[in-house]
């Protein structure tokens, strides 16, 4: 997994190179996951465009988008704001996977996101505020579509807390009463989410039928994902 060094975007990374169960690999520079892209300079924008990362899907609420604009909502990029559930902090650590399932259960938003991904002309960048929770669940679904092993999904998820270390530290210093788990991306969270997903939907194919994503768009997404 390649870390893309936009100096002010600590959790922007390419999921390319992740291996599937069958030995194939996710294509490089097709799917970028990110925290909010801010203070991106022109050379960094040009880098993304050179790699044909031209579609941006921002999962934040409209008020967040208004108050903290996405720098990639600019010339050269196709920008879409498709809000998902999952903003705010859970009251307890045990609720984190349930919050992720709430995102997964939002079939309408998931269908819009996956349809936009299928129709994207080139590479796609997906972001929320931290690039960890809402973005992490969309990436989890994409990796399930690609038939990636749970171990690989967990490893990708866990990286976020490391990348966001300074921001998480500053958040806890500012709000000393925040629970210690806030900002973390522990393997246990995503493993429990995957277990709940399997319990409720059995597999990704059944889930996509419930989402009502048509077969052609599923085919397009798989072609974008896999070498």
Average pLDDT, the chain: 95
pLDDT, position 166:
93
CB 200 within 8 A of CB 101: yes
Dihedral angle of Cα 208, 209, 212, 216, to the nearest 10 degrees? 80
Q: Model-level pTM?
A: 0.96
Half-sphere exposure of 181 (CA within 13 A, CB side): 13
As a CATH number, domain 2-225 is: 3.90.190.10
Q: Across residues 158-182, what is the average pLDDT?
A: 93
Structure tokens at 39: 């203070």
Q: Where are the domains of the chain?
A: 2-225
Render pLDDT for 19-33 as a digit per residue (tens, 0 to 9).
999 999 999 999 999
Q: Would strands 31-34 and 13-14 be described as parallel, antiparallel, or unpaired?
A: antiparallel
Burial class (CB in 10 A: 0-12, 13-18, 19+), 20: middle
Q: How far is CA 75 from CA 42, 85, 150, in A?
A: 11, 28, 37
């Amino acid at each position: 997994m390649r870390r893309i060094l936009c100096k002010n975007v600590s959790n922007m990374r390419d999921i390319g190179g992740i291996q599937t169960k069958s030995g194939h690999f996710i294509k490089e520079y097709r799917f970028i996951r990110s925290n909010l892209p801010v203070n991106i300079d022109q050379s960094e924008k040009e880098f993304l465009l050179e790699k044909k990362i031209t579609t941006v899907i921002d999962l934040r609420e409209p008020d967040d988008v208004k108050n903290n604009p996405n720098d990639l909502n600019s010339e050269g990029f196709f920008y879409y704001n498709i809000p998902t559930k999952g903003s705010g902090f859970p009251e307890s650590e045990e609720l984190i996977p349930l919050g992720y399932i709430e995102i997964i259960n939002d079939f309408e938003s998931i269908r819009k996101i996956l349809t936009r991904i299928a129709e994207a002309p080139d590479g796609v960048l997906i972001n929320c505020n931290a690039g960890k929770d809402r973005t992490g669940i969309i990436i989890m679904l994409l990796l399930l579509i690609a038939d990636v092993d749970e171990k690989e999904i967990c490893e990708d998820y866990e990286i976020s807390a490391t990348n966001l270390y300074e921001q998480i530290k500053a958040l806890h210093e500012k709000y000393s009463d925040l629970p210690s788990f806030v900002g973390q991306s522990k393997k246990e969270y995503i493993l429990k989410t995957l277990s709940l997903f399997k319990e409720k939907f059995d597999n990704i194919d059944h889930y996509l039928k419930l989402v009502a994503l048509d077969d052609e768009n599923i085919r397009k997404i798989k072609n974008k994902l896999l070498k």
